[in-house]
Structure 1
Amino acid sequence: MTANSTTFLSRRRTLSLTAAGLSLIAVCYGLARFAYGMFLPSFRAEFGLDAQLAGAIASGSYVAYCAAIVVSTILTPRLGARRVAASAGVIATLGIVIVALAPNAIVLAAGVLIAGSSTGVASPPLAHAVARAVRAPVRGRTQTIINAGTGAGVALAGPVALLTVDQWRLAWLAFAIIASAVTVWASRAVPREGSGEPSADHEPTRQRTVLPQPVLRPGSARLIAAATLMGLGSSAVWTFGRDLLGGTGGIGPTASAIAWILLGACGLLGAVTGDAVSRAGLARAWAVSMIGLAAATLVLALMPGSVVVAWTAAAVFGAVYIVLTGLLLLWGAQIWADAPAAGVGLGFLVLALGQALGAPLVGALITQAGPVPAFSVAAGCAVLGAFVLPRRSRA
């Protein structure tokens, strides 16, 4: 059976893949990667991190993601989605455990780097599995529901942080237990290559060509520019948002944790991305969402002491960020329809590069000028990104 087999998963197995994929994304993105920002106040107190160093550690996580997504994009067609997806869960669990046991800032940085790389491993195989094994009428919705797992993971991190209070190591050990359980689930639910009904027992068909030819196609330059600006624009809130809200002049640690819960919960709205695109069009949905990202970022910096404003801005940020990643996923899949893992991989790679550039930049600006100028620069990047749209024929 070839990689282009026309057999598809049954409804039950499609639902199983969707649930397991959403959970794997929740673990890798929401816990292994973005929970760093959630727990940054605790890390700064424990290890004596200043804003610039905290931003550098976050940047390392994004760089690791970039390297991992390249490797995952290449290996997914060759090894099959199941093996690569399970590897993502193993890497996430390992990184989370290292963070939980870190005795100093160096080991903490290593754990954050390893944990962050799991996100790069996870996205391509899940996109590949959905594109190859899920029926066309529900394919887009399945992709975006899985992608919304980031919000679920972030929402989970908030209550865990509240329950553990100052015992952040217990929280990360709990994350490790969750990650290991999800890894086992994904290793069973993600299909092998060509494993649609009626059989799911044969090995993946190896492909000689692991990257599409040509790699850069009409419309890809716009996607690269838009994803970079989205990464720059979102880096301030993901890395320093909780620290800003929980610190002096902010709403405090408990209220800021609730803000993070709202951010993640509203991120689950990303599951409706496919329907939004079908009604509004990819270009219009992208522009509106990027403006929302900019507004939420700026408002958080201007009014961190208002509970209502902070909670509202966090909720808006979570919703539009996950919508944007879903749009980026669909955008890449349109350009590289014959190689969805490569399309998703490139878009998310460039997004992470933007975040890798943005995190230390924002950290340095906070140190030198304060949070308002730093967050304003990030918001400005998001505004610019609102004007970089897909080719009209692709909308």
Structure 2
Amino acid sequence: MYLPLFLKRNSAFNVIGAGLLIVAATYGLSRYTYGLFVPAIRDDFGLSQAAVGAIGSASYLGYLLATLISPLLVRRFGPRLPIIVGGMTATLGMLLVALAANPLVLAIGVTLAGCSPGLAYPPLSDAIKQLCRAEKQNRYYAIINSGTSFGVMVSGPLALIAGPRWQLAWLCFAFIALIATLWNFLIMPGPTRDATQHEASDNKPGGLSDDREPIRALLRRKLKNESVRRLLLGALLFGLVTSVYWTFSVELIASENRLSETGRVIFWVVVGIAGVAGGLAGELVTRFGLARVLRWATLAIAASIASLTMASDGMLVPTMSAVVFGATFILITALYGIWSVSCFPEAPSTGFGLTFFLISAGQLISPTLAGLGAELWQMTSVFQITALFCLGILLLLPTQDVWSM
């Protein structure tokens, strides 16, 4: 019996649409949009740069804890539950930010919102494995991963519309997260093999192993593999260097009065628009191999971080930096996702969760360090040092190339 696309739970429309929207809500809005509002938040609450960095780090701490819990929930309840809990956490956290009357409530809201992608994102690898044919998994995952860019892209216009009443924008973000949660509730697979999974099985997608090796034993075995060690160390370093840009790029531009408030929002929107290009990660890996793509993307993102420190009174340099950073950040996160699943084929969400746990561990540390460094020296020096550290990823490419999940 023929069913319209919106009724077929494992159709490309539903899998990509729901996955992309939950990533947009949890990553693009709940986690990364904080940086766009740093100047307004700092002024309204009278915060120092160190305090702003500490709140940013608290967001990453929430994510860090959530990524430890998410794979355990997947093993026990299937992908649906942690995805839904992540969406609900995003909704509540952003609602608290919108209603915050003091720095404590603000910090709680930012931290709670920061938990959401750690819960919702790792299970998507399992969901894709269950719902999609093997030859489509790279493409679907890369497109879903670009949801971060759509969230960042949407946040800019909403910030402009809200103007000085920036809390209204966060109310809109919370509503978007609620819609994403409801859609995923309807289509994501649960702990039992429901009709959707039977249909996917009939289409012979890549299945998941029934092996339930204890996570501790699995990690002990995997850490003996040099490629796995490179994956995890590279993920940690990637997190360290990129969160400086997400947290302080708008502050760097604002502090030097190089762009108007509208110009800063345009800069942020450009980061989001450029990130859509990261949806090509699946095709690039299939054609060129992951190692080559990661090498060139690392050089590009290091250049984008360094270029933001160049003296400029116009939009050209910041816009170029935004384009390169947005595209390569989404691309590299997709590359680490594909690499992690290829390293952990028997437990995709475990490898996925561990990889993004370490990305977040780096992101947890660096905003606080960058805020302190900016008060001791200058933010421009912090960005230049960060760009140099970024090049260390070149020493941590895979030992054997990867061509698919």
TM > 0.5 fold call? yes
Please, which of 169, 174, 183 is the counterpart of residue 181 of structure 2?
A: 183
Asked if residue 227 in structure 1 is aligned to residue 231 in structure 2, the reply is no
Q: What residue in structure 2 maps to residue 174 of structure 1?
A: 172
Change (3 A) 1:213 1:139: farther
C-alpha contact 2:9 2:187 (8 A) present in aligned 1? no
Structure 1 181/210 Cα, relative in aligned 2: closer, same or farther at 3 Å? farther
Any idea what the Cα deviations from partners look like across 1:259-314, whole Å, max 9, x if unmatched? 11010111111111011111221111111111111111111122363311101111
- Asked whether the equivalents of residues 229 and 385 of structure 1 are also in contact (C-alpha less than 8 Å), the reply is yes
Contact 1:36 1:239 in 2 (8 A): yes
1:117 to 115, 118, 123: 115
Kindly indicate whether residue 386 of structure 2 is the aligned counterpart of residue 378 of structure 1: yes
Q: 2:333 aligns with which of 317, 322, 325?
A: 325
Take 1:78 and 1:180, find their aligned partners in 2: how far apart are those partners? 24
**Partner residue of 1:255?**
263
- Structure 1: how far apart are the matches of 2:72 and 2:188? 18
Distance 2:141 2:391 in 1: 26
What is the aligned partner in structure 2 of residue 245 from structure 1?
Answer: 253
Q: Which amino acid in 2 is paired with 1:211?
A: I
**Distance across 1 between alignment mates of 2:346 and 2:80:** 19
Distance 1:11 1:106, change over 3 A: closer
Q: Distance in 2 between matches of 1:121 and 1:304?
A: 40
In the other structure, the counterpart of 2:370 is 362
Q: Separation in 1 of the partners of 2:255 and 2:34?
A: 16
Indicate conservation of the 8 Å contact 1:77/1:206, yes or no.
no
One-letter identity of the residue aligned with 1:138: K
For residues 145-175 of structure 1, the C-alpha deviation after alignment (integer angstroms, 9 at most, x for no partner) is: 1111001100010111111111111110111
In the TM superposition, what whole-angstrom CA distance separates every residue of 1:68-115 from its partner, at most 9, and x where no partner exists? 011001111211111211111000000000101111111111100000
Distance of aligned partners of 1:308 and 1:85 in 2 relative to their CA distance in 1, 3 Å threshold = same
Deviates more, 1:187-196 or 1:116-125: 187-196
Segment drifting more, 254-263 vs 11-20? 11-20
Gaps of 5+ in 2: 1-6, 201-208
Residue matched to 2:79: 81
Counterpart position of 2:317: 309
* 2:126 alignment partner, one of 102, 120, 128: 128
Deviation at 1:133, TM superposition (A): 2.1
CA contact (8 A) 1:21 1:186 kept: yes
**Partner letter of residue 159 of structure 1?**
P
Quick check: 1:44–1:50 contact (8 Å CA) kept in 2?
Answer: yes
Confirm whether residue 215 of structure 1 aligns to residue 223 of structure 2: no
- Answer yes or no: is the 8 Å Cα contact 1:92–1:179 preserved in 2: yes
Asked if 1:52 is matched to 2:67, the reply is no
Residue-by-residue CA offset, 1:130-157 (whole Å, 9 max, x unaligned): 0122110101111111111001100010
State how far apart, in whole Å, the 2-side matches of 1:86 and 1:186 are.
7
Q: 1:274 aligns with which of 282, 287, 292?
A: 282
Larger mean CA deviation between 213-222 and 101-110 belongs to: 213-222
Moved segments of 4+, more than 4 Å: 9-12, 197-200, 205-210
Query: What TM-score, normalized by structure 1, do the two folds share?
Result: 0.93
SS of the equivalent of 1:392 reads coil
Cα RMSD between the aligned structures?
2.1
Counterpart code for 1:373: S
Change in 2 beyond 3 A, CA 1:11/1:84: closer
Q: Which runs of 5+ in 1 are unaligned?
A: 1-8
What percent identity do the matched residue pairs reach? Answer: 35
Shift in alpha-carbon separation, 1:233–1:178, aligned structure 2, 3 A: same
Q: Which moved more, 1:207-216 or 1:14-23?
A: 207-216
Count of residue correspondences: 384
1:358 Cα deviation (Å)? 1.0
Provide closer, same or farther for how the CA distance between residues 109 and 11 of structure 1 changes in structure 2, counting only shifts above 3 A: closer
1:233 and 1:378 in contact (8 A); partners too: yes
C-alpha displacement of 1:248: 3.3
